[in-house]
């Protein structure tokens, strides 16, 4: 299984606190089980007439009640990581579905490790017992390829009496494409987040900093839009903050330690330099520049060098930073900016940060020329789209009632409530529901998400992700960070050893020529 190590239990605890804080700030009314009184107009609204005084069922409720008649008394089991989105579904959707259908739902929110072990065990044994499972977007490909999840699109076509017409898959944000393979859905999204630049707006707006920057560079001090501007900004803040602001603030923060630096490279630093899909040719499974890949291209080498050079302008302890290092550094006032998973924003605008919440801003990663155009045309992306989904297990003996619950739980009305409570946006129709949260009022994140989420992409290499990160990338990357090898060497080692691993895994017949220097 392709477990993303950012989901380790220790990080998960922190992640839950972040999202809980975000949800408290923007709490609205929880979604109930009733229809919203509107017919399905293709806008993601839940179809059905208003139940009036509550004595009559809406069309939506009537559908689920009727469709579940043959499964009344059945029990379905769902296992998921315990996070605010999953707890939201448990607390707001389960009991209403049970009352409406007579189907019992054993909703088990556990640690990521326990969840993963149970899903793998169930899927590989082929034994029934688990009906709905959580999958991260970067594991979905492996789950689909291994036939652990059903083809939900085919199941829907073959079971028209169980397919609710109000379940609008076209309403999902583009992130949902990470759960589609061969045109079919193998899971539906239940949460989503972006990895973007989070920065101290008050530092960029400071008049003295602006004056000093103009004196040095002859232009305004603004949020950087490309790698050169970001490097210059990071250096300027690092070298001038103590004299101008009266406190030393680093110009950059980054994930470095262990595998976290590797993920930073492939999720952020590669794409902002125009190296997409980890530098792996998605049709040929090659990585070498001379063999159709881009992992050791000039752009990739530039990305590696950019990453390491920026560490000179980061806090002293940056080489110990893992997943939470960048947001924690910004919260503490140790750094002015960095690329951060948006799930951290809840914690960054509450508690006792070194700034006022409204002084925090969000921006696109600083990209080289052509990347925005590639992203708009579907030929690339600017950064990482993270999140997870729920899908019905192939080994389930209760696929029919499980699919009914999946539609009910992830319908538009429910996911609008999710956006209000946690800020996790999975449907276009849910964006307005998240506008009144503290996180949007302070940073404009929801507005940013609406305008830019289609420029981000998930990980397309889920089938080989874990083996590449652990067996190919991690060791040479840490040598590179330590200064023992050059940017060109680490790029060459990554690319050549990736092709060796692809041969070993059966994706590639033979490697290209070994590049130099290695």
Residue 429 pLDDT > 80: yes
What phi and psi values does residue 457 have, to the nearest 5 degrees? -145, 150
Give the bridge partners for 196, in sequence order.
Answer: 340
Task: Please report the pLDDT score of residue 437 as a whole number.
Answer: 83
SS3 percent helix, strand, coil of the chain, rounded to 5, is: 50, 10, 35
The percent of residues in the chain predicted with pLDDT above 90, rounded, is 72
169 versus 6: the higher-pLDDT residue is 169
Distance of CA 404 to the CA centre of its chain: 26
- The chain-wide mean pLDDT, for the chain, equals 88
Backbone angles phi, psi at 506, to 5 degrees: 90, 10
Please give the full DSSP string across 423-490, using - where no structure is assigned.
Answer: ----BGGGTGGGTTSHHHHHH-HHHHHHHHGGGEE--S-TTTHHHHIIIIIHHHHHHHHTTSS-HHHH
Closest CA to 164 of 55, 29, 56, 58: 58
Q: What's the token pair of residue 120?
A: 């793998």
Task: Write the pLDDT tens digit of every residue in 343-354.
Answer: 888 889 988 999
Pairing of strands 360-363, 188-200: antiparallel
Q: Residue 419 has what pLDDT?
A: 87
Domain spans, the chain: 61-192+387-434, 194-384+462-505
Q: What confidence score (pLDDT) does residue 85 get?
A: 87
Whole-angstrom distance, CA of residue 23 vs CA of residue 420: 7
* Of the ranges 52-61, 77-86, 242-251, the best mean pLDDT one: 242-251
Query: What's the confidence (pLDDT) of residue 113?
Result: 81
pLDDT reading at 264 higher than 50: yes
pLDDT band at 26 (very low <50, low <70, confident <90, very high): very low
Q: Strand 337-341 and strand 188-200: pairing?
A: antiparallel
Beta bridge partners of 265: none
- Superfamily of domain 194-384+462-505 in CATH is Periplasmic binding protein-like II (3.40.190.10)
Whether residue 52 has pLDDT greater than 60: no
- In the predicted structure, residue 276 carries a pLDDT above the cut 80: yes
Residue 19 has pLDDT above 60, yes or no: no
Q: Does residue 44 carry a pLDDT above 70?
A: no
In DSSP terms, 195 is beta-bridged to 341
CATH architecture assigned to 61-192+387-434:
3-Layer(aba) Sandwich (3.40)
Distance CA 300, CA 108 (A): 42
pLDDT winner (highest mean) among 3-7, 19-23, 134-138, 414-418: 414-418
Q: What is the radius of gyration, based on Cα positions, of the chain?
A: 24
Q: What is the pLDDT of residues 65-89, one digit of tens each?
A: 999 999 999 999 999 988 888 999 9
What is the per-residue pLDDT for 55?
Answer: 57
Q: What are the backbone angles phi and psi of residue 106, rounded to the nearest 5°?
A: -90, 90
pLDDT of residue 45: 54
Residues 131-140 have a mean pLDDT of: 90
Banded model confidence at residue 139, pLDDT cuts 50, 70, 90 = confident
Position 32 scores a pLDDT of 29
pLDDT at 132 over 50: yes
Distance CA 222, CA 230 (A): 10
Position 109 pLDDT exceeds 90: yes
Q: What are phi and psi of 201, to 5 degrees?
A: -65, -35
């Amino acid at each position: 299984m392709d477990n993303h190590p950012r989901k380790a239990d220790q990080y998960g605890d922190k992640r839950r606190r972040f999202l809980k804080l975000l949800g408290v700030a923007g709490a609205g009314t929880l979604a109930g089980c009733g229809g919203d009184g509107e017919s399905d107009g293709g806008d993601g609204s839940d179809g059905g007439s208003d139940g009036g005084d509550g004595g009559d069922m809406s069309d939506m409720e009537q559908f689920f009640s009727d469709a579940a008649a043959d499964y009344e008394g059945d029990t379905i089991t769902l296992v998921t990581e315990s996070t605010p989105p999953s707890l939201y579904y448990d607390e707001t959707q389960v009991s209403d579905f049970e009352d409406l259908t007579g189907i019992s739902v054993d909703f088990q929110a556990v640690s990521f490790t326990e969840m993963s072990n149970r899903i793998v065990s169930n899927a590989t044994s082929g034994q029934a017992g688990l009906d709905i499972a959580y999958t991260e977007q970067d594991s979905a490909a492996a789950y689909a390829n291994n036939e652990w999840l059903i083809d939900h699109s085919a199941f829907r076509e073959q079971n028209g009496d169980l397919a609710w017409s109000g379940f609008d898959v076209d309403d999902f944000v583009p992130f949902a494409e990470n759960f589609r393979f061969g045109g079919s859905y193998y899971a539906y999204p239940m949460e989503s987040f972006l990895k973007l630049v989070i920065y101290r707006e008050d530092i960029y707006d400071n008049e003295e900093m602006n004056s000093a920057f103009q004196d040095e560079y002859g232009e305004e001090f603004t949020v950087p839009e490309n790698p050169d501007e970001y490097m210059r900004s990071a250096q300027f803040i690092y070298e001038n903050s103590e004299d101008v602001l009266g406190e030393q603030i680093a110009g950059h923060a980054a994930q470095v330690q262990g595998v976290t630096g590797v993920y930073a490279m492939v999720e952020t630093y590669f794409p902002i330099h125009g190296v997409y899909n980890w530098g792996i040719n998605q049709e040929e499974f090659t990585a070498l520049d001379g063999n159709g890949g881009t992992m050791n291209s000039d752009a990739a080498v530039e990305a590696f060098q950019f990453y390491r050079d920026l560490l000179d302008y980061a806090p002293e302890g940056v080489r110990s930073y893992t997943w939470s290092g960048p947001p924690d550094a910004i919260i503490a006032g140790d750094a002015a900016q960095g690329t951060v998973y948006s799930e951290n924003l809840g914690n960054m605008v509450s508690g006792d940060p070194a700034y006022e919440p409204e002084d925090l801003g969000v921006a696109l990663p600083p990209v080289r020329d052509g990347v925005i155009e590639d992203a708009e045309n579907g030929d690339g992306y600017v950064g990482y789209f993270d999140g997870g989904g729920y899908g019905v297990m192939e080994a389930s003996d209760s696929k029919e009632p499980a699919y009914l619950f999946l539609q009910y739980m992830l319908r538009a009305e429910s996911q609008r409530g999710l956006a209000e409570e946690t800020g996790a946006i999975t449907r276009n129709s849910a964006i307005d529901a998240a506008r009144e949260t503290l996180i949007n009022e302070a940073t404009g994140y929801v507005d940013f998400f609406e305008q830019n989420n289609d420029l981000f992409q998930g990980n397309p290499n889920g089938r080989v992700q874990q083996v590449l990160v652990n067996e190919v990338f991690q060791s040479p990357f840490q040598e590179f960070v330590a200064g023992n090898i050059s940017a060109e060497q680490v790029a060459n080692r990554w690319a050549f050893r990736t092709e060796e691993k692809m041969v070993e895994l059966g994706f590639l017949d033979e490697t290209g020529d070994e590049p130099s220097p290695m």
